[in-house]
Amino acid sequence: MTRIAVIGATGTIGQAVTEALAAGGASGVVAISRRVDAASLPPGVRAAQADLTQPESLDGALANVDAVFLVWTAPPDAAPAAIERIARHARRLVLLSAPYKTPHPFFQQPNPMAALQARIEGLIEASGVAWTFLRPGMFAANAIGWWASQIRKGDVVRWPYADAATAPIDERDIAAVAERVLQDDGHAGRDYVLTGPDSLTQAEQVKIIGEVLGRDVVLEEISPEQARTELPFPPVAMNMLLGAWRAAVGLPAFLTNDVAAITGRQPHTFREWVAWNVSAFRA
């Protein structure tokens, strides 16, 4: 039996991974974050509070664990000690990373997150643990944080780069891959670029949300300068996104078959993801 810990279990992806493991019958699953609440977890999953910036706090949570799924959003300087601690306990580590090595213009723009992911990957590779890196592209779930507030108020989404295409991936598909990679042999030293099944421009994604709602919602393109003043992103994130979208205009998004190859089924479409999350877009 593989005992599995999910670090970052209350976030978008960690929660989906925890749910997938529980639904798939994995036993001995531990959900870890700084503020994890046992009541919100699937039946049979144990809650353990730990903080990646306080590595000794991981010892109790990771006792007798074989495999770890790690989401890193903690400060970069905490990574060496935390990864050394994780590698002391687990023999297998699956990291949620990003496709910064993929030679598509969308993924090759200036991106401070890429430097952080590369640093964490280097620490993991040097730790001696058997590692696998998952590299999802744009999360479908970004649509909630980005567009839901405008869609709840009306039928227009003011947004830059209407024609930039991405292949939004459903968090359930990232989780389904993680579920297999955490439990099956043959994935050590491998990395997988995970995408949704379709290349869709941002305007097409907004239109699909409207169709699922039964409304005619349109993306009204604004300039990058307008985006900087109107949209609630910190400047570093805004620069990163504007650069990536600008590079993606007119190109199909990068698509892979890795979700289907690992899970044996096709990834969810963006329309299916919207239908699953439709309440987030309703007034």
Applying CB under 6 A, the residues found at the interface with ligand NAP are 7-14, 33-35, 51-53, 71-74, 96, 98, 113, 136, 138-139, 142
Q: Scanning the structure block, which residue is given the tokens 């039996």?
A: 1
* Count of CB atoms situated within 10 Å of the CB of 81: 16
Q: Are 26 and 1 in contact (CB under 8 A)?
A: no
Nearer CB in complex with ligand NAP: 53/239: 53
For the bound state, the minimum distance from the C-beta of residue 244 to ligand NAP, rounded and expressed in Å, comes to: 10
For the bound state, the minimum distance from the C-beta of residue 260 to ligand NAP, rounded and expressed in Å, comes to: 19
Between CA 14 and CA 33 the distance in angstroms is 10
Between CA 276 and CA 55 the distance in angstroms is 37
CA atoms within 13 A on the CB side of 89: 21
For the bound state, the minimum distance from the C-beta of residue 185 to ligand NAP, rounded and expressed in Å, comes to: 25
* Count of CB atoms situated within 10 Å of the CB of 228: 15
> What angle is formed at CA 27 by the lines to CA 129 and CA 263, rounded to 5 degrees?
70
Between CA 119 and CA 121 the distance in angstroms is 5
For the bound state, the minimum distance from the C-beta of residue 155 to ligand NAP, rounded and expressed in Å, comes to: 25
For the bound state, the minimum distance from the C-beta of residue 14 to ligand NAP, rounded and expressed in Å, comes to: 5
Nearest residue (beta carbon) to ligand NAP? 11
Q: Are 120 and 72 in contact (CB under 8 A)?
A: yes
Nearer CB in complex with ligand NAP: 234/264: 234
Nearer CB in complex with ligand NAP: 153/190: 190
Nearer CB in complex with ligand NAP: 35/186: 35
Nearer CB in complex with ligand NAP: 14/267: 14
Nearer CB in complex with ligand NAP: 118/156: 118
Short-list 97, 148, 146, 116, CA closest to 245: 146
For the bound state, the minimum distance from the C-beta of residue 2 to ligand NAP, rounded and expressed in Å, comes to: 21
In terms of residues, how long is the chain?
283
Nearer CB in complex with ligand NAP: 40/153: 40
Coil, strand or helix at 114 = helix
For the bound state, the minimum distance from the C-beta of residue 233 to ligand NAP, rounded and expressed in Å, comes to: 12
In the structure encoding, which two tokens stand for residue 255, read together? 């698509």
Coil, strand or helix at 135 = strand
For the bound state, the minimum distance from the C-beta of residue 173 to ligand NAP, rounded and expressed in Å, comes to: 13
Nearer CB in complex with ligand NAP: 33/109: 33
* Torsion (CA) 75, 12, 192, 200 in degrees, nearest 10: -120
